[in-house]
Amino acid sequence: MQLGLIGLGKMGGNMRERIRRAGHTVVGYDRNPEVSDVASLSELVEKLEAPRVVWVMVPAGAATQSVVDELGDLLEAGDTVVDGGNSRWTDDEKHAEELGAKGIGFVDAGVSGGVWGLQNGYALMVGGDAEHIARVQPVFDALKPEGPYGYVHAGKVGAGHFSKMVHNGIEYAMMQAYAEGWELLEKVDSVTDVREVFRSWQEGTVIRSWLLDLAVNALDEDEHLDKLRGYAQDSGEGRWTVEAAIDHAVPLPAITASLFARFASRQDDSPQMKMIAALRNQFGGHAVESK
């Protein structure tokens, strides 16, 4: 099938390649002309045969709203827009209503996989009407990991991004637990090889995970994380997860504490945040701050 893909950064560029490897045609647009296939959104739409499917991979908020507004003017009834960024689920409801008034379908897709997605595939959590999702299904099948898992139609519009938001909240808490354990091991005199302790946990333990593997990768590159400043950003989804928990009276003490720990990292050079920063860089290519 044909797909228009807007936003060819670290995620979008690799997604374009994975979809093409599956035999589909991708027309990509990015503000960077060096990676873009076309010069404008209007040219992208012109190159696609109706009914069109256009996937948006740009930052959440104003950038996504601007692209959705422009696509609303360029596309026709029967076309479909997929928001694969990290938009807030309430924005999905707004975009679906705006595009739906013009007969344009809307699907929200939470995408997880980071810089490793090209090789391993992307976990996909999607929301929207079944008829709209069916139009995009060949692309979902191309992006997902091999095997029966890694894709779910989570529910109505907004359900995909809400699920991805909760996924990221859990990710916050898991990374915080590894970081706290690492700092404690580093503090005691009796443990002389913390990196190898972490490596020993990779097999046969109940805490083994891909995040643990990435932690070992980071420690192999910088054994005591001396090159990093203990500062970690938050993507916004951790905050939204806590806000949703408050709205629904659901206690999330671990996720909330991990979010506050990131706030604390901006006040001091936190050892725990060195590990958080290293993990975020490993799985998502997120920027780190060096000393």
| Domain range annotation of the chain | 2-156, 165-271
What is the chain's mean pLDDT, rounded? 95
**Buried b / exposed e across 205-232, counting CB within 10 Å, b at 16+?**
eeeeeebbbbbbebbeeeeebeebbbbb
CB atoms within 10 A of CB 179: 26
The per-residue pLDDT for 31 is: 94
Which pLDDT band holds residue 255 (cuts at 50, 70, 90)?
A: very high
The per-residue pLDDT for 233 is: 85
Choose the CATH number for 165-271 among 2.30.30.90, 3.40.50.620, 1.10.287.70, 1.10.1040.10. Answer: 1.10.1040.10
User: How far is the C-alpha of 263 from the C-alpha of 278, rounded, in Å?
Assistant: 17
168 Cβ contact list (under 8 Å, min separation 6): 86, 235, 237, 238, 241
Spatial CA neighbour of 175 closest among 56, 82, 286, 261: 261
Amino acid at 109: A
pLDDT over 90 at 105, yes or no: yes
Tokens of 215: 């932690």
User: How far is the C-alpha of 41 from the C-alpha of 29, rounded, in Å?
Assistant: 7
Mean pLDDT of 167-172: 95
Quick: pLDDT tens for 9-40: 999 999 999 999 999 999 999 999 999 999 99
Tokens of 287: 């920027």
What class is the 2-156 domain? alpha beta
User: How far is the C-alpha of 199 from the C-alpha of 184, rounded, in Å?
Assistant: 16
**H-helix or E-strand containing 130?**
helix 130-143
In the three-class reduction of DSSP (H, G, I as helix; E, B as strand; rest coil), residue 77 is classed as coil
User: How far is the C-alpha of 274 from the C-alpha of 289, rounded, in Å?
Assistant: 9
Ramachandran region, residue 153 (left: φ > 0; alpha: ψ -120 to 50; beta: rest):
beta
Active site residues: 164, 171
Q: Considering the entire predicted model, what is its pTM?
A: 0.89
Which pLDDT band holds residue 265 (cuts at 50, 70, 90)?
A: confident
Give the percent of the chain with pLDDT over 70: 99
pLDDT over 80 at 267, yes or no: no
User: How far is the C-alpha of 147 from the C-alpha of 51, rounded, in Å?
Assistant: 29
135 Cβ contact list (under 8 Å, min separation 6): 51, 53, 80, 105
Mean pLDDT of 72-99: 97
pLDDT over 80 at 221, yes or no: yes
